Amino acid sequence: MAFEPPRRLVTALTERYGAPAARSWLADLPDLAERAVAVRGLDVERAVAPGGRDSLVLLVRRPGAAPATLKIAPPFAAPGPERAALAHWKGWGAVETFDARETPEDGSVLLERLRPEVSLRSLPEAKALLEAAGTVRRLWVEPPAGHGFETVEERTLREAAAMESSDAPGELVAEALRARAAMTASADERLLLHGAFRQGKVLAGERAPWLAVGPEPVVGERAYDLARLARDRVEDLIAADTGASSARRRINRLADSLEVDRERLRAWTLYRAVESATRALRVGREREAELLLEYASWL
C-alpha cells in the first residue's frame, strides 16, 4: 500500500521516541497497513491528515460497505492499554472498537467511524467545555479487575525525574513537583481515566453526538484527568487581557460542574502544564513552552 505518512505523525514520533525508532517503523508502515487491511477484508478510502500523533489513521469500509476507521500504532507507543480501555468502556463515552478481543502484533485496531475533521474545538469555548464535561464523566468508571493500567502516581513519578533536569524555571518546576507529591500522597480515587483528555480528543459521531478518542489510560483521580482540559486553547487565554483571571475561573467552573475539589484540580493543572512545558523545551518547541509556563505562573 503506497502512501505518504502524515507530516504530523512523522514529526511527533521523531520527537517523542527518537529518529531511529521512528524511521524504522515508518519504513515498515506501508506493509503493516496492507496486512492489517487484508486480514480484515477492508477497503481503504484514505489516510486521515493531519491524523494522530502516535498512529496512522485510515478511513476504511468493512465487508458489506460499513464505514470504519483503522488505527495502526508502533509497538513503542504501547497501543495495548488504549485498546484495553476502549474495550472496557464498550462505546460508553468513547469510540467503539470492533475487534476488542484481538491483540494484533501490528498494533492495529478497528474502530467505529467518527468525523475526524469535527472536534469540540470547532465549538465556541463555553459550549465546548460543557460538552467535554459531559463526555469525560462517562469515562470515569472502575477499572477492570486485574488490570494492567499504569497509575497516576507511576506515570507522574517517571515524568518528575525528567522534569528535574529541565531548563524550565527552577521555581516553577519545584512548585509543580511539590504539587505532584502532595496530590499523589493524598489521593483517594482509583478510577479509569482517559489520561490525555482535551477538546481535540472528542470527535463528532453518529451513534452519539460526541465521543472520546485516543486515550492514554491511567488509573487515578478525576482531577488529574480534568487538568489537561483546563488549559485548552491556552493561546487564547494568554492573548486576553483577563487571561489569568479567566484561567482560574475556568478551573473553578470545571471543578464545580463535575464535583471535583477546586484545589486538587488547580494543583494538577499546574503540574501538567509545567510537565508539558519541560517536554516542549526538550524537543525545541520554545514558543509552546513559553505559553505553558506563563499559564502555569498564573495558578
pLDDT tens string 236-290: 999 999 999 999 999 999 999 999 999 999 999 999 999 999 999 999 999 999 9
Judgement on whether residues 123 and 262 belong to the same structural domain of the protein:
yes
Same structural domain, 50 and 91? yes
Domain termination residue (choose one: 112, 146, 171): 112
Distance CA 284, CA 226 (A): 27
The residue behind cell 499559564 is 295
Q: How many other C-beta atoms lie within 10 A of the C-beta of residue 46?
A: 10
Q: Determine the structural domain holding residue 284 and report its residue range.
A: 118-297
| pLDDT of res. 103 | 57
Residues 205 and 235 in one domain: yes
Structural domain includes residue 1:
no
Is residue 2 domain-resident?
A: no
In a domain, 277, yes or no: yes
Do 129 and 150 belong together in one domain?
A: yes
Question: Are residues 241 and 269 located together in one domain of the fold?
Answer: yes
- Share of residues in the chain with pLDDT > 90 (%): 90
Domain boundary among 83, 112, 141: 112
- pTM, entire model: 0.94
Q: Domain containing 123 — which CATH number?
A: 3.90.1200.10
Phi, psi of 56, rounded to the nearest 5 degrees: -85, 135
CA distance 274 to 269: 9
What confidence tier does 51 reach under pLDDT thresholds 50, 70, 90? confident
Is 264 part of any domain?
Answer: yes
Given 81, 112, 143, the domain boundary residue is: 112
**CA nearest to 100, candidates 118, 88, 113, 115:** 88
Name 73's Cβ contacts closer than 8 Å, sequence gap at least 6.
Answer: 52, 54, 55, 56, 79, 82, 107, 108
Domain count, the chain: 2
